Amino acid sequence: MATESVEETAEGKRLAEEIVSRVAAELSITVAGLTWRDDYPGPYITTLVFGVMGSNQRGSIELRMRTLEASRNPNNKPARAALEEEIRTGLRDLTQRLTRSN
Q: Taking residues 68-87, what's their average pLDDT? A: 94
Residue 83 lies in a domain: yes
What is the percent of the chain with per-residue pLDDT over 70, rounded to a whole number?
Answer: 92
The total of other beta-carbon atoms located within 10 Å of residue 50's CB is: 23
Flag the least confident range among 54-58, 75-79, 90-94: 54-58
- CA neighbor of 52 nearest in space, from 18, 28, 83, 76: 28
Q: Taking residues 58-75, what's their average pLDDT? A: 92
Q: Number of folded domains in the chain?
A: 1
Residue 94 lies in a domain: no
Residue 22 lies in a domain: yes
Report DSSP state, residue 73.
Answer: S
pLDDT (tens digit, 9 = 90+) per residue, 18-57? 999 999 999 999 999 999 998 766 678 999 999 998 888 8
Q: Cis peptide leading into 41, omega within 30 of 0?
A: yes
Residue 101 lies in a domain: no
Q: State pTM to two decimals.
A: 0.87
Please enumerate in sequence order all residues whose Cβ is within 8 A of that of 63, keeping only pairs 6 or more positions apart, or say none: 16, 45, 46, 47, 48, 83, 86, 87
- CA neighbor of 92 nearest in space, from 16, 27, 46: 27
CA distances (Å), 55 to each of 20, 35, 52, 65, 86, in order?
17, 18, 6, 29, 23
Residue 1: per-residue pLDDT: 40
